[in-house]
Structure 1
Amino acid sequence: MAELCVRSVLVTGANRGLGLGFVQHFLRMSKPPQWIFAGCRDPKGQRAQELQNLASKHPNIIIVPLEVANPASIKATAAKVGEHLGGSGLNLLINNAGMAKPKSLDNETLETMTQVYTTNTVGPLLMGQAFLPLLKKAAQGSPGSGLSCSKAAIVNMSSYAGSIQDMYVWDYGQVVSYRCSKAALNMLSKCQSLTYKEHGILCVALHPGWVQTEMGAAGSLKPPLTVDESVQGMLKVLSSISEKETGTFLDWEGKVIPW
């Protein structure tokens, strides 16, 4: 199968977990991206140490301070990325940054719902708006017709927990605000796919699997997937999807997940 081939990619929440995994896998490609923009809230902080180490060895990694719950931060990042890219556009936007608060329905609060929804749903909405000009530019500058992730794409990291039809691991944890935010993110992905299709931009919601990250391993059970396995699977999916998959909800193996 053909490897994903992009000149530029931006990954949010890139300092740990799946975000860092994406950065590492892009570096290992036979033809790595010329630009890997790694967004994280505190680039100089202790939690970004591993990302800093990578960037010191690989000049194609540009660490950008980015808080996806802050519109001003998003606009500043879009301007900075645009400066680096010069006349070319951004091929791939991976909205990976996310958060969860392990609360049951009875314990949910306005504060928690708002905080989780702002990061997990509103953040990807604002990121899509801010980076639309750069994604459009990439789509226009890519050869061939149709949609692909090598051309221009928005990838929203969703979760099976956002499926309304199949209440994934409900007995393991209700995490109501997280579930609601991911169900809303799935709808956003669908809306983006319909709106941005005319600009040549593919949009998809991806479930990475239950992964051994700080968030995934917060409970008492050990998740079955490593970060490496999940990211490798997702990149394989992204390399193969096209126009007919835009607006769909897929898992790390390319299987369709019920809404």
Structure 2
Amino acid sequence: MSSPHIVFITGANTGIGLETVRALAKTSTPYTIILGGRTLSKVEEAITSLRTEIPSTSSTYSAVQIDLEDDTSIQTAFETISAAHTHLDTLINNAGAAFDYDLHAGKLSMRQAWNKSWDVNVTGTFIVTWTFAPLLVKSPLQPRLLFLTSGTASVSETEAGSGPANHLTKSPSKGWPKTDLGFDVTSYRSSKVGLNMMMRQWERILREDGVKVFAISPGFLVTGLGNMGQQGREMMKNMGAGEASVGGEFIRDVVEGMRDADAGKAIRKDMVQPW
């Protein structure tokens, strides 16, 4: 009997990360799912809920603390996981953050918001991948490496009126200051453009190791991204955002090989995302 498919998911105790765990656990395929999160107690609470919610799962769960802004945390997570497992079959870089809302609320300066956006979504994600790559290349299966990008990261769709995020292409009124920027997530979407290039570099770095690399664009979904709270969630729903479970099911399909023909690209549920 073959060993269960080992999956490590960062940011796994909430949002799309947690929905990905649910989607995997509900299949008949046995997975060893390692849930990573900044606060260990919250990850453990999520696992307790999952065990109650899906009692018949053939998968197993374990929790690990990992903070993408803390190199020591990343290294400790690697040591914890490598002590228990000789390899990883799939690494899902789901953890990410948007700080534009804190910027507009006056909680962060502009420099702080931009630096944190890149530190989490690009730098921290790269360091996690670099740290765990030695386990990924040892996979006896078809190893996969996934990065969570955004539909707002398509440069070609920044033309006015184009793409699914065309509400972000409308220009504010003439003059300064710009008080009608609308749903402005400039630092977040810029960092996700950077993540797309990073994904392409990992495709190059791991090509000879047979690792299939993807940037996953899950769609406009209601998540806790940006710490917007319930009011923010309602605003997103009113703008047409779907449920986070849609993203989890999409990621599960990629883990199970249904989009292997699109490896090396940024992909949406029903298409390849334009660069």
Tell me, yes or no, whether TM beats 0.5.
yes
Alignment match, 1:61 = 61
Contact 1:6 1:91 in 2 (8 A): no
Match in the other structure for 2:136 = 135
Q: State whether structure 2 residue 62 is matched by structure 1 residue 44.
A: no
TM-score by length of 1: 0.83
Alpha-carbon deviations, 1:59-106, whole Å to 9, x = none?
Answer: 821110110121111111111111111x3x10100001111123589x
**What does 1:1-259 correspond to in 2, within 5 Å?**
7-33=5-31, 35-45=32-42, 49-54=45-50, 60-85=60-85, 87=86, 89-102=87-100, 109-138=110-139, 141-142=140-141, 151-167=142-158, 168=165, 169-170=167-168, 171=170, 173-215=183-225, 218=232, 220-222=235-237, 223-238=240-255, 239-242=257-260, 244-253=261-270, 255-259=271-275
Q: Give TM-score scaled by structure 2 length.
A: 0.79
Flag the structure with larger Rg.
2
Q: Distance in 1 between matches of 2:127 and 2:202?
A: 11
Determine if contact 1:20/1:51 at 8 Å carries over to the other structure.
Answer: no
Report the count of equivalent residues: 238
Question: Structure 1: any 5+ residue segments left out of the alignment?
Answer: 143-150
RMSD, aligned CA: 2.5
Q: Matched residues, percent identical?
A: 24
Runs of 4+ in structure 1 displaced over 4 angstroms? 55-59
Contact 1:40 1:64 in 2 (8 A): yes
Distance in 2, Cα, partners of 1:30 & 1:20: 18
The one-letter code sitting in structure 1 at the alignment partner of 2:112 is E
SS at match of 2:157: coil
Distance 2:91 2:4 in 1: 11
Is the CA contact (8 Å cut-off) linking 1:121 and 1:185 kept in structure 2? yes
Q: 2-side partners of 1:200 and 1:80: how far apart?
A: 25
Q: State the distance in 2 between where 1:247 and 1:236 align.
A: 16
**Closer/same/farther in 2, CA of residues 183 and 129 from structure 1, 3 Å limit:** same
> Structure 2: 5+ residue runs without aligned partners?
159-164, 171-181
Conserved? CA contact 2:21–2:248, under 8 Å: no
Distance in structure 1 (CA, Å) of the matches to 2:27 and 2:236: 33
Contact 2:93 2:148 in 1 (8 A): yes
